[in-house]
Amino acid sequence: MTRYTTTTDDDRREMLAAIGVSSLDELFAAIPDNLRFGRSLDLRAGLSELEVFAHLRDLAARNVSAEDELTFLGAGMYDHYVPAVIDMLMERSEFLTPYTPYQPEISQGGLQVMFEYQTAISELTGLPASNASVYEGPSAVAAAGYLAKLVNGRRRFVVSRGLHPHSRETLRTLSHGYGTDVTEVPLLGGVTDPQAWAEALDDEVSAVFLSHPNFLGAVEDLEPLIAAAKAHGALVVCSCDPIPLGILRTPGELGVDVAVGEGQTLGNRLDFGGPSFGFFAAAPEHLRRMPGRIAGETTDVDGRRGFVLTLQTREQHIRREKATSNICTAQALNALAGVVYLSWLGREGLVELAELLLARTAYARDTLAALPGVRRLHDRPVVREFALGLPVENLQAVERVIERCQAEGVNPGYALGRDYEEFQEGLLVAITERRSRSDIDRLAEVLSRALAAETSGSAEPAVAAGART
Amino acid sequence: MSATETRPETAMQAERAVTIFERGRPGRRAFVPPRLDVPERDGAELLPTHLRRAEPARLPEVSEPELVRHYVRLSRRNFDLDSGFYPLGSCTMKHNPRLHERVAALPGHARLHPLQNPRHAQGALEVMFNLERALGEIAGLPHVCLQPSAGSHGELAGVLLTRAYHESRGETRTKVLAPDTAHGTNPATVTMAGLEVVKVGTNPDGGVDLDDLRAKADSDVACLMLTNPNTLGLFDPNIEEIARIVHDVGATVYYDGANLNAVMGISRPGDMGFDIVHFNLHKSFTQPHGGGGPGSGPIAVSERIAPFLPTPLVVRRDDGTFDLDYDRPQSIGRLRGFQGNYGCFVRAYAYICSLGADGLRDASETAVLNANYLLARLQREGVAELLPLAYGNGRCMHEFVLSGAPMKKELGIKTLDLAKRLLDHGVHPPTVYFPLLVDEALLIEPTETETKETLDAFADTVAEILREAREDPELVRNAPYSTPVRRLDEAAAAKQPVIRQPL
C-alpha cells in the first residue's frame, strides 16, 4: 500500500475471494513467464511527501529563473506577470482534474470556458473560427500546414525566415511525413525579402507562412506578401504574438486564412517551455477541416442554453484514419488561463498593455542602440522585442557578452546567431510590463560594461552569481 | 406524462448560462497597467496607423470580483476527479497529488525561461535526465525523448521515427498495421505521417488474429501499432510471436502506452519486443488532465531507432553537467518549440520519486486487482445477463469492456442511457461506444486509487439502474435529471455551428 492506494490486507483478501482467485499473481496469468519482469525496477526507493518536496526544491534552486535575474530573454516565451486570480482558478479541482468533456451534462463549466476562449481568440485574430486550443506555437504552425494540405493537396510550403526557428523546424519535421517540401525566403532589412518571396511562389504552393511581428521583432508590411501568395491560390498562414495583436492589424483584416500562435503570454508561466497552449483560428470556409476540439452552443431537452463538443466527425475518435488531425488531449487548462487573462485585461487593458510595451520597447531600443558600436539590425516598427547588432565578431563573442551580463544578474536576451548564420552578431531583446525604465537603464549599463570588457579582450566571464549550486 | 416533466428545476438548472462577454459593461476593468515611466512618444510615430487594427478586440469588461465569481460558478458546473469516481476507460483517472502542483509552482521551475543557458538550468535538466532514466527503465527501452506534447504527438513521433529508420536503410514502406481495437489516434496519426493504415483483426480471445497478421505482414509494412494490454483490457499472450512476425518482414513494433498502468514493474514493452513506446504522463504518471490537457507524451526507443530521436536531447557531459544536444545529424528534427511540457515532467518525476520501484509495481497490481474486483461485482446476477463481459475468460488487466447489447435488446436501454443515468448518481460514466468492435461498449477503468467501498458503490449503482430500467425504462431513457443541463442537442450544434459569442 502506498499513500495513494488504499487496499488493506483485509480488502485484498476479500477482493481476491470475490474474484475467485487465491493470489494476486493469478490475475497476471496472461503474461507469459518469460515476460514477467524478474527483478525490481532500478529506481530509488519511494520517498515521503516532505522528502520529495525537498528534492524538487533543491533542484529548482539550481536553476536561474526570472525570479533570480533581471531578464530580457524572449524569443517566443516572455516573462509577463500572471495575475493571482489565474493561480486560484487553475488550482480548482473542478478545472484541474476532469478529463475531456465527453459527458457534456456534467462538463458545462469546461465547455463554456472553451466557448468563451474561442470567442476571445476570434476577437483577437479577427477570424471567426477558433478551436479550443492545440499544443503550443510551433506545432500549431505545422497543424496549419496540414490543414492547407487537406484543402488543396499541393506539395510546397513557402516560409519566411522571419518565422520562429522552432516553427520552421517543426513544419519541416511534420511536412516530411505528409510529403510537402519547405522553401525558406530570406530576410532583407529585417523583413521578408519581397523579391525573393515573389520568386519562391508558384501555382504548386500549398501555403505560405508569415509572422506578425517576426522573430526579429519587426512588424512587417504583410499585405503585399499576402496578395502575392493569394495570386497563386496559396493559403496564407500567419503566426502571431497575441499581446501585440491588441494593437496590430488583425490577421482577419489582412486576409490571412489561418492565424496560429503561442499562447504562453496569455496568463501562462514560462515553465521552461511548457505546458502552455497554441491558438488556431481560421476563415469560416475551413471550419470543417480544423484540428482539435471545438465547443458549440446548443440547447437541452428543456430548452436551456448549453454547450457541447461539436463537429466531432472531424476528429480521430470518430473518423480514425480520415480525421483532420490526430490531436486528442490538447491544452484545456492552459487555454482557461488564456481566456481568464484576456478577461482580466479586458477591452481597454489589452490596448493599454500593448501601448506600454510599445513605448518601453522604443525607449529600450533607443537607449541600447546608443551604446558605443551597437546598432539596430533593422529599422522597422517593433512592439515588444527588437534586434541589435553588437560590435563583436561572432556568436561565441555574443554568448560571452551575455554570460558577462548574467554574472552581474542581468540576462540581456537571446543570441540570434544560434539560429541565424546571417546574424552572428545579433542580440534579441524582449520587454514585458515587468521591466521598468530603471531595469532598462540597468541593462544598458551592464551591457555597456560587458561589451567594453569583451572588446578589450579581458578575462573570461565568471559564472553567474545567480547560479546557486 | 413522463417522469421528467414532474420534476422541479434544480437551483443549478435555474441558473441559466451567461458568458463572461454578456456579463461585461463598458468601463469596468480588473487590470490596471503599470505607469508609463518612459518619455511619452507619439503612438503613430512608433507604429503607423496602417499597421494598427481598426478597432480594439471586444474583450469582456469586468471587474475582478465579477471575474472570480463567474469562473468559480462555472467550475461548479463541472464534475471532477476530486469529487467522485471517474472510471473512464483508457484514460487512467487516478488521483492527482497536490504535492505535484506545489513543486511545479516553485519559481525555480515555473519561472525558468526555456532558452536559459543550460549552465543556469542544471536543476531542470537534471529533472529531465532523471525522468528519462526512470521511463527508460520502466519501458525496458533505454533511449528517451520527452518532447512530444501528448500521447497522439508521441505516436506521430513514433511513426516518423519508423519512417526515418526505413529511409536510412534505403527502404520506402507505405503501410502501418493496427488492430481494430486500436485507439482512434493510431490510424489518424498514420495518415498524418503520410502512410496507409491496414486493419488487423481480433481473434475470439480478444487478441491479435495471428493468421490475419501473417497474411498482411509483408515488405511494404513499416510498423505495427499495438496497445498491450489492449483496449479490451486483455494482455495479448502471443505478443512475442506477434513481434517476431513483424520483425521478420523488417518492420518495427510500436507500443501505445495508454495502458501502461497495468504493467509498471511487472512486464516491460522493451522485453516484449517493442521498438518504440510512448508514455502518457497524464495517465500513468498522474499529471492532472485539466479538462482536456495539458498532457505529455515522451517516447522511449531501442538502440537502432535512437539516432533518429527528435532534437534537442538532454545529455550528461563528461564533467557531470547536463546539457542540451542539438548536434544529431540523423534526427527527424523538432516536433514542437523548446523542450516539451516541462511542468508535466516535474509532476511525473515527483510521482516516481514518491512511489519508487515498489510503489509503481503496487500501483499496477492494485489497478489490476481493482478492475478484476469490479468486474466480478458486475458479473453477479441481475447485471451479468444484461451487461456481459465482451471478451476474455472472466479476468482482465487494469480495465474491461462490457457489452450493453443484451440490455438494449431486453430493456430497450442503450449504453448511452445507462451512462446518462449514472450522472444522476454522482458518478462519471465509463468510456462508451469504444472499442468499436464491441456492440454498445462500456470500457471501465477504476484505477488503483479507488477504495473497495467506492467500487462496491458503483456496482450497486449499476444494479440499481438496471432494476429501475426493468420497472420504468422511460426513467432511464430520459436521464439525466439532476445535472446543470439535461440531454443536449448535439445534432443541432453540428448542423448550424455557433462556436463563438455573437457580439
Instruction: Walk along chain B (503 residues) and give the pLDDT tens digit of each residue.
Output: 345 556 899 999 999 999 999 999 999 999 999 999 999 999 999 999 999 999 999 999 999 999 999 999 999 999 999 999 999 999 999 999 999 999 999 999 999 999 999 999 999 999 999 999 999 999 999 999 999 999 999 999 999 999 999 999 999 999 999 998 888 999 999 999 999 999 999 999 999 999 999 999 999 999 999 999 999 999 999 999 999 999 999 999 999 999 999 999 999 999 999 999 999 999 999 999 999 999 999 999 999 999 999 999 999 999 999 999 999 999 999 999 999 999 999 999 999 999 999 999 999 999 999 999 999 999 998 999 999 999 999 999 999 999 999 999 999 999 999 999 999 999 999 999 999 999 999 999 999 999 999 999 999 999 999 999 999 999 999 999 999 999 999 999 999 999 999 99
As a whole number, mean pLDDT of residues A26-39 equals 96
Q: Which residue of B has its CA nearest to A47?
A: B354
Q: In this predicted structure, what is the pLDDT of residue A468?
A: 39
Length of chain A as a residue count: 469
The answer, for B203 touching chain A at a CB cutoff of 8 Å, is no
Last residue of a domain, one of B353, B386, B404: B353
The 8 Å CB, 24+ separation contacts for B167-171 are B168/B307, B168/B308, B168/B330, B171/B250
Banded model confidence at residue A461, pLDDT cuts 50, 70, 90? low
Task: Specify the DSSP element, H or E, that contains B470.
Answer: helix B452-471
Last residue of a domain, one of B288, B318, B353: B353
Summarised one tens digit per residue, pLDDT across range A418-445 is 999 999 999 999 999 999 999 999 999 9
Q: Are strands A70-71 and A305-309 parallel, antiparallel or unpaired?
A: unpaired
Q: In this predicted structure, what is the pLDDT of residue A296?
A: 98
Summarised one tens digit per residue, pLDDT across range A69-105 is 999 999 999 999 999 999 999 999 999 999 999 999 9
User: Which backbone phi and psi does B347 adopt, to 5 degrees?
Assistant: -65, -45
Contacts of B434 in chain A (CB under 8 A): 317
| Structural contact between residues B418 and B442, judged by C-beta atoms closer than 8 angstroms | yes
Count structural domains, chain B: 2
Instruction: Compute the distance between CA of residue B257 and CA of residue B301 in angstroms, rounded to an integer.
Output: 13
Show me where the domains of chain A are located. 70-80+347-455, 85-341
Which residues span the domain enclosing B258? 99-353
Q: In this predicted structure, what is the pLDDT of residue A313?
A: 86
Alpha helices in A68-180 (DSSP H): 84-90, 93-96, 108-125, 137-152, 165-178
Q: Which of A92, A270, A343 sits opposite B112 (nearest CB)?
A: A270
C-alpha cell at A193: 525579402
Q: Would you give the DSSP letter of residue B169? A: T
Same domain for B391 and B477, yes or no, is: yes
Same domain for B186 and B105, yes or no, is: yes
C-alpha cell at B324: 542540451
User: B376 lies in a domain?
Assistant: yes
Same domain for B363 and B450, yes or no, is: yes
User: B384 lies in a domain?
Assistant: yes
Only one residue has cell 514542437, namely B336
Summarised one tens digit per residue, pLDDT across range A362-401 is 999 999 999 999 999 999 999 999 999 999 999 999 999 9
The pLDDT of residue A460 is above 80: no
As a whole number, mean pLDDT of residues A112-128 equals 98
The answer, for B40 touching chain A at a CB cutoff of 8 Å, is yes
DSSP string, A426-456: EEEEE--TTS-HHHHHHHHHHHHHHHHHHHT
The pLDDT of residue A141 is above 90: yes
Q: Which residue of A has its CA nearest to B273?
A: A35
DSSP string, A291-306: -S--EEEEEBTT--EE
Only one residue has cell 455551428, namely B497
Only one residue has cell 508609463, namely B36
Task: Name the β-bridge partners of B325.
Answer: B313
Instruction: Compute the distance between CA of residue B154 and CA of residue B257 in angstroms, rounded to an integer.
Output: 10
Instruction: Compute the distance between CA of residue B307 and CA of residue B418 in angstroms, rounded to an integer.
Output: 50
Same domain for B371 and B347, yes or no, is: no
Q: Are strands A258-262 and A278-282 parallel, antiparallel or unpaired?
A: antiparallel
| Structural contact between residues A382 and A213, judged by C-beta atoms closer than 8 angstroms | yes
Same domain for B320 and B371, yes or no, is: no
Q: Which residue of A has its CA nearest to B59?
A: A347
For chain B positions 347-376, those within 8 Å of chain A (CB to CB) are: 349-350, 352-363, 365-366, 368-370, 372-373, 375-376
ipTM reported for the complex, 2 dp: 0.97
The answer, for A224 touching chain B at a CB cutoff of 8 Å, is no
- Annotate A227-251 with b (16+ C-beta within 10 A) or e (fewer): ebbeeeebbbbbbbbbbbbbbbbbb
Q: In this predicted structure, what is the pLDDT of residue A462?
A: 56
The answer, for B416 touching chain A at a CB cutoff of 8 Å, is no
Same domain for B284 and B431, yes or no, is: no
Report which of A368, A422, A364, A373 is spatially closest to residue A395, judged by C-alpha positions.
A422
As a whole number, mean pLDDT of residues A227-240 equals 98
Q: In this predicted structure, what is the pLDDT of residue A322?
A: 86
Which CATH number do you get for residue B269? 3.40.640.10
Q: Are strands B441-444 and B400-403 parallel, antiparallel or unpaired?
A: antiparallel
Instruction: Compute the distance between CA of residue A165 and CA of residue A75 in angstroms, rounded to an integer.
Output: 10
Q: Which of A27, A105, A110 sits opposite B368 (nearest CB)?
A: A27
Q: Indicate yes or no: CB of B138 within 8 angstroms of CB of A79.
A: no
Report which of B349, B360, B297 is spatially closest to residue B106, judged by C-alpha positions.
B349
Q: In this predicted structure, what is the pLDDT of residue A319?
A: 86
Domain A85-341 is found in CATH 3.40.640.10: yes
Find out whether the peptide bond into A461 is cis, omega within 30 degrees of 0. Answer: no
The pLDDT of residue A178 is above 90: no
Which CATH number do you get for residue B435? 3.90.1150.10
Instruction: Compute the distance between CA of residue B499 and CA of residue B503 in angstroms, rounded to an integer.
Output: 12
What residues have CB less than 8 Å from B244, skipping those under 6 apart? B273
C-alpha cell at B312: 534537442
Instruction: Compute the distance between CA of residue A46 and CA of residue A43 in angstroms, rounded to an integer.
Output: 9
Give CA angle at B447 (B441, B448), nearest 5°. Answer: 155
Instruction: Compute the distance between CA of residue B344 and CA of residue A269 in angstroms, rounded to an integer.
Output: 13
User: B122 lies in a domain?
Assistant: yes
For chain B positions 425-484, those within 8 Å of chain A (CB to CB) are: 428-429, 431, 434, 448-452, 478, 480, 483-484
Summarised one tens digit per residue, pLDDT across range A121-134 is 999 999 999 999 99
Q: In this predicted structure, what is the pLDDT of residue A459?
A: 63
Same domain for B326 and B427, yes or no, is: no
Task: Name the β-bridge partners of A237.
Answer: A209, A258
Maximal CA-CA distance, chain A: 83
Q: In this predicted structure, what is the pLDDT of residue A329?
A: 86
Q: Which of B184, B185, B341 sits opposite A274 (nearest CB)?
A: B341
What residues have CB less than 8 Å from A73, skipping those under 6 apart? A79, A411, A413, A414, A430, B113, B115, B116
Half-sphere exposure of B398 (CA within 13 A, CB side): 34
The 8 Å CB, 24+ separation contacts for A312-319 are A312/B494, A313/B494, A314/A288, A314/A289, A314/A290, A315/B184, A316/B152, A316/B183, A316/B184, A316/B185, A316/B187, A316/B188, A317/B183, A317/B184, A317/B185, A317/B434, A318/B184, A319/B184, A319/B188
Q: Indicate yes or no: CB of A177 within 8 angstroms of CB of B156.
A: yes
Architecture field, domain A70-80+347-455: Alpha-Beta Complex (3.90)
Report which of A211, A266, A244, A251 is spatially closest to residue A355, judged by C-alpha positions.
A244
As a whole number, mean pLDDT of residues A146-174 equals 97
Banded model confidence at residue A280, pLDDT cuts 50, 70, 90? very high
Same domain for B286 and B364, yes or no, is: no
Contacts of A178 in chain B (CB under 8 A): 192-194
Banded model confidence at residue A464, pLDDT cuts 50, 70, 90? very low
Contacts of A242 in chain B (CB under 8 A): none
Average pLDDT value for chain A: 96
Task: Name the β-bridge partners of B400.
Answer: B444
Q: Indicate yes or no: CB of A304 within 8 angstroms of CB of B82.
A: no
How far is residue B345 from each of residues A4, A215, A289, measured CA to CA in Å?
Answer: 19, 28, 32
| Structural contact between residues B216 and B199, judged by C-beta atoms closer than 8 angstroms | no
